[in-house]
């Protein structure tokens, strides 16, 4: 019983002999359940990151405007 292909007398080849397309990873990504769920997870993380950046920038802007308004009212600006 041969464990490795070349133990049957055949020499190992440098090039793969598979007949699958070169872009099998992309095909799996778009056609399998785990590929689609990975895409959904990546999209959800990017959406969450976008929301986080928008939220922080919004509050930084509001706090800066409030701070400037308070300084103007106090006569220090």
The per-residue pLDDT for range 1-46, each reduced to its tens digit, is 556 655 666 665 656 556 656 788 899 999 999 999 999 999 999 9
Domain boundary assignment for the chain:
49-77
- pLDDT attached to residue 44: 98
pTM of this structure: 0.60
Euclidean distance between CA atoms 77 and 71, whole angstroms: 6
Residue 72 is predicted with a pLDDT of 92
Burial class (CB in 10 A: 0-12, 13-18, 19+), 35: middle
């Amino acid at each position: 019983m041969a464990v490795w292909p070349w133990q049957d007398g055949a020499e190992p080849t440098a090039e793969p002999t598979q007949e699958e397309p070169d872009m099998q990873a992309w095909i799996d990504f778009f056609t399998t359940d785990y590929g689609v769920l990975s895409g959904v997870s990546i999209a959800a993380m990017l959406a969450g990151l976008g929301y986080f950046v928008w939220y922080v920038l919004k509050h930084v802007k509001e706090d800066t405007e409030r701070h400037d308004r308070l300084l103007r009212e106090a006569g220090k600006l």
